[in-house]
Structure 1
Amino acid sequence: MNRLSRLFASKQKDILNIYFTAGYPTLDSTVPIIRSLAESGADLIEIGMPYSDPMADGETIQESSSVALRNGMNLKLLVEQIEEARRHTQIPLVLMGYFNQVMQYGMERFVGAVAGAGIDGLILPDLPAYEYERDFRQLAERAGLQVSFLITPQTSDERIREIAGSSTGFLYVVSSSSITGGSAEISDRQRAYFNRIERLNLPNPKLIGFGISDAASFRTACEYFNGAIIGSAFIRSLAGQEDRVAEASREFVDAILQAEIR
């Protein structure tokens, strides 16, 4: 069973997904961050593939991508780092990036490389639905990769149902009409949006992302769906921590989960 499937089968609430950019803050940070997050209690790790022209990333993630690219991060090296991380942990790992990166690498080559390294799923926000169904879905399914798609407050109910039907992984519920790294406050309008999704009775696991940054917003998001994704806040916590990324990762997760216990 795919590690993502196993996670959602065994845990239905309070799933903590941490996002970070591969190669940030240093080229060699990827493996120690993954190991530390897994050991500290994260349930799922989302690894960003650095890209020079992102669509949905806010300033924090854009800057981390720029640093990672300057550090020399590339897909070939990232695959090697994932292989190394897999020697130490079986936590579900998802790659998030852009379909242009996949096409440049070669779709079949990319799918084979990341699945072989131990990746469980993909998030490609710019992958058009028709191209996914025509060219990519069969490749991903043969390799055992689950693909997750994003929905936003502007997505119609009909379109949400279509996206849910295409998502073989979890449904990424974008919390607001903004880029990543926004406000941690969850508004009444967002709560109404979450309630609308809940009324659709979709079978997919759902994680809320964008604007989830601390224990309070994580706890609120978990009231609605299976869990939440924290990215920009975690990346900010790594700034200036080049020599202690493992410790900084553990401290960040502890701040989220220990607050839950209290």
Structure 2
Amino acid sequence: MNRLNQLFNTKNKNLLSVYFTAGYPELNTTVDIAEALEKAGADFLEIGFPYSDPVADGPTIQNSSQKALDNGMNLNLLFEQLADLRKRVSIPVLLMGYANPMVQYGVERFCAKAAEVGVDGVIVPDLPMYEYETLYKDCFAQHKISNIFLVTPQTAEARIRKIDELSSSFIYLLSSASITGGSLELGDVTETYFKRIKDMELKNPLVIGFGIGNKAAFDKATAYANGAIVGSAFVKFLAEDNYLQRIPEFVKSIKG
């Protein structure tokens, strides 16, 4: 079992994951932010590797990706920064980004390097399930890297069952089919969607993302899933003064 499996086996309710973009707002604070989030009570983390065309992201994360690229962030540098990750951070850490930079880096090399620095999983929204299964599944398994699949309100049951079969840690349940940065609106349609997935009794835990930016949204999401992911709200927070010192304040505003 990797750290993700251990986490869900020991604590499977009200889990908080926080996303931030590596190299934003400053180039060399990636592990500092990760360490501060763990100390503040985050249960696991998603570190974004920036890409010039982040199609699933709204303006906040798009802007952070561009700033990170302007600062000089790339996968080589990110893995250099993460070399000391496990001396300072013990909670699960995932990398999140797009297929293009991962494929350019080399998927085998990417998985090996991720495992070497202590990464537990990856989220690649535009990596087709068929490509993962036929080309990369064995490589991920060899290096004990969990691949996290995304489910939307439009995902058919048969595909969700297939995702559940291919998954080894958790399934990322998008609150809507929109881009990141919106607000979770828990109307009848969304509730029906969340309940439909919950009633499928999948073998993998569920974590809800997109639109989680305050305690009310976190509580709504975790009523239907094992945890929730905060992204854009935290990236916005990182633009404020003294953000490192104030991370406990941010986490408390979500978890209470």
TM-score by length of 1: 0.95
For the 8 Å contact 1:29–1:245, the answer to whether it is kept is no
Aligned-partner SS, 2:197: helix
Percent of residue pairs bearing the same amino acid type: 51
Cα deviation, 1:168-215, whole Å, max 9, x if unaligned, reads 221000001200011233222111100110121111111000001101
Q: How many residues align?
A: 256
Aligned residue in 1 for 2:137: 137
Aligned residue in 1 for 2:118: 118
Q: Distance in 1 between matches of 2:98 and 2:169?
A: 17
Aligned residue in 2 for 1:228: 228
Q: Distance in 2 between matches of 1:168 and 1:136?
A: 14
Aligned-partner SS, 1:247: coil
Unaligned runs of 5+ in 2: none
Cα deviation, 1:109-148, whole Å, max 9, x if unaligned, reads 1111111011000111111111111111100111011111
Q: Within 5 Å, give how 1:142-181 maps onto structure 2.
A: 142-181=142-181
Q: Distance in 2 between matches of 1:77 and 1:220?
A: 37
Query: Which letter maps to 2:204?
Result: N
Aligned residue in 1 for 2:247: 249
Aligned-partner SS, 1:246: coil
For the 8 Å contact 1:32–1:245, the answer to whether it is kept is no
Aligned-partner SS, 1:35: helix
Q: Within 5 Å, give how 1:1-262 maps onto structure 2.
A: 1-241=1-241, 244-257=242-255, 259=256
RMSD of the alignment, in Å? 1.0
Unaligned runs of 5+ in 1: none
For the 8 Å contact 2:121–2:146, the answer to whether it is kept is yes
Q: Could you list the runs of 4 or more consecutive aligned residues of structure 1 that deviate by over 6 angstroms after TM superposition? A: none
Query: Which letter maps to 1:245?
Result: Y
For the 8 Å contact 2:85–2:117, the answer to whether it is kept is no
Cα deviation, 1:56-102, whole Å, max 9, x if unaligned, reads 11110000000000000011111122222221121100001111111
Query: Which letter maps to 1:224?
Result: Y
Query: Which letter maps to 2:67?
Result: V
1:170 and 1:65, CA in 2 relative to 1: closer, same or farther beyond 3 A? same
